[in-house]
C-alpha cells in the first residue's frame, strides 16, 4: 500500500512512484504511475472517462486506504481537497463550515478573511442551501484555503456550474493561486479549462501518464490565440476526440 510521508519531501509537493490501484482482479485502474509536482506548480489532469483521474486524486488525498494497490505516494502535510459538489454540512452556517476543525483563537478571523477573499463577505451566517451552486463552490474554496494548503487537490470543482459561472470561478482560482501559491492538481474534463489555468497538462491513459505537456502561453491566455488552439487540437487528439465533433 502507498505511504504518505510528508516529511521526506524536500523540493517537491508530490512524489508518486510506481503507483498501482485496482478494484478487482480483472485489471488495474492505475498501472505503475510515476508523477512529481513541484511546490507551487499548477497541474491539470485530463483523460478519457474511466482513465483513473479520480482514483489517482483519491490516492493523493489518502482517501483510498481500503483499495488494493502498491507504490509510493508522498504529499505535504497540509493538503486540501475540493470536489464537484461543495460538501458543505447543511446543518452548519457557511462560516462554521469554513472554520470546521480549525483550532486557535484566530479561527473566526481567518474564516472571515477567506470568505472575503472568495467574494462572500456578508454571507457568513447563511445556510448552505441559501447559496447558489457557484457560491457553494466559493465556500468550498474558502474552506480549503483557510488551512493554508501546500497542495490543493481539485476533482472537477467547476464541472456542475454553468459556463458563465465557470469563467468567473476560473478568474477566482487564478487570483487565489497567485495569492497563496499552493501546488494544485486539477482534474477536469474541460481541455480549455486545463490550458487556461495550468502550468502543465497531464493526459492520463490507461492509468499511466500518456503525455506531460508544459503550457508555455504566459499569463494572459486566450482561446483565440493560435498556440492555444494548437494545444487544444493536440490534447483533443490525444483524448481521441475529433475537434469538429466538439464545435
Ligand X SMILES: Nc1ncnc2c1ncn2[C@@H]1O[C@H](COP(=O)(O)OP(=O)(O)OP(=O)(O)O)[C@@H](O)[C@H]1O
Contacts with ligand X by CB under 6 A lie at 23, 29, 47, 49-55
At closest approach, how far in Å is the CB of 49 from ligand X?
Answer: 3
CB of 63 vs ligand X, minimal distance in Å: 11
Residue written as grid cell 474534463: 189
Closest CA to 100 of 156, 64, 133, 140: 140
Chain centroid to CA 27: 26
Q: How many CB atoms lie within 10 A of CB 179?
A: 9
Return the percent helix, strand and coil in the chain, to nearest 5: 35, 25, 40
Q: Would you say the C-alpha torsion 11, 15, 4, 157 has a positive or negative sign?
A: positive
Q: Cell 509510493 belongs to which residue? A: 72
Contacts of 104 (CB under 8 A, 6+ apart): 110
Q: Residue 142 or residue 203: which is nearer to ligand X going by CB?
A: 203
47 beta partners: 204
Q: Residue 73 phi/psi, 5° resolution?
A: -130, 120
* Nearest distance from C-beta of residue 178 to ligand X, angstroms: 28
Name which of 54 and 80 has its Cβ closer to ligand X. Answer: 54
CB of 165 to ligand X, least distance (A): 20
- Give 29 or 235: the residue with its C-beta nearer to ligand X: 29
Closest to ligand X by CB, 53 or 138? 53
When the beta carbons of 55 and 97 are compared against ligand X, the nearer one is: 55
C-alpha 161/C-alpha 125 separation (Å) is 23
Q: State in angstroms the smallest separation of the CB of 245 from ligand X.
A: 17
Minimum distance from residue 50 beta carbon to ligand X (Å): 4
To which residue does cell 498501472 refer?
31
The nearer residue to ligand X, 94 or 203, going by C-beta atoms, is 203
Amino acid at each position: 500500500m502507498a505511504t504518505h510521508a510528508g516529511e521526506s519531501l524536500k523540493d517537491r509537493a508530490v512524489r508518486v512512484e510506481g503507483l498501482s490501484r485496482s478494484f478487482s482482479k480483472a485489471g488495474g485502474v492505475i498501472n505503475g504511475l510515476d508523477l512529481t509536482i513541484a511546490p507551487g506548480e499548477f497541474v491539470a489532469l485530463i483523460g478519457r472517462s474511466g482513465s483513473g483521474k479520480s482514483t489517482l486524486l483519491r490516492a493523493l488525498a489518502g482517501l483510498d486506504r481500503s483499495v488494493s494497490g502498491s507504490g509510493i505516494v508522498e504529499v505535504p502535510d497540509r493538503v486540501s481537497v475540493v470536489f464537484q459538489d461543495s460538501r458543505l454540512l447543511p446543518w452548519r452556517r457557511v462560516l462554521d463550515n469554513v472554520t470546521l476543525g480549525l483550532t486557535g483563537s484566530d479561527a473566526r478571523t481567518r474564516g472571515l478573511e477567506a470568505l472575503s477573499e472568495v467574494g462572500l463577505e456578508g454571507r457568513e451566517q447563511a445556510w448552505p442551501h441559501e447559496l447558489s451552486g457557484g457560491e457553494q463552490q466559493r465556500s468550498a474554496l474558502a474552506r480549503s484555503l483557510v488551512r493554508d494548503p501546500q497542495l490543493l487537490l481539485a476533482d472537477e470543482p467547476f464541472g456542475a456550474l454553468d459556463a458563465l459561472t465557470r469563467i468567473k470561478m476560473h478568474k477566482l482560482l487564478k487570483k487565489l493561486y497567485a495569492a497563496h501559491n499552493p501546488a494544485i492538481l486539477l482534474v477536469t474534463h474541460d481541455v480549455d479549462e486545463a490550458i487556461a489555468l495550468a502550468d502543465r497538462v497531464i493526459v492520463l491513459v490507461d492509468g499511466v501518464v500518456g503525455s506531460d505537456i508544459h503550457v508555455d502561453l504566459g499569463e494572459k491566455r486566450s482561446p483565440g490565440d493560435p498556440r492555444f488552439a494548437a494545444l487544444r487540437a493536440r490534447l483533443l487528439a490525444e483524448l481521441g476526440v475529433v475537434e469538429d465533433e466538439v464545435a
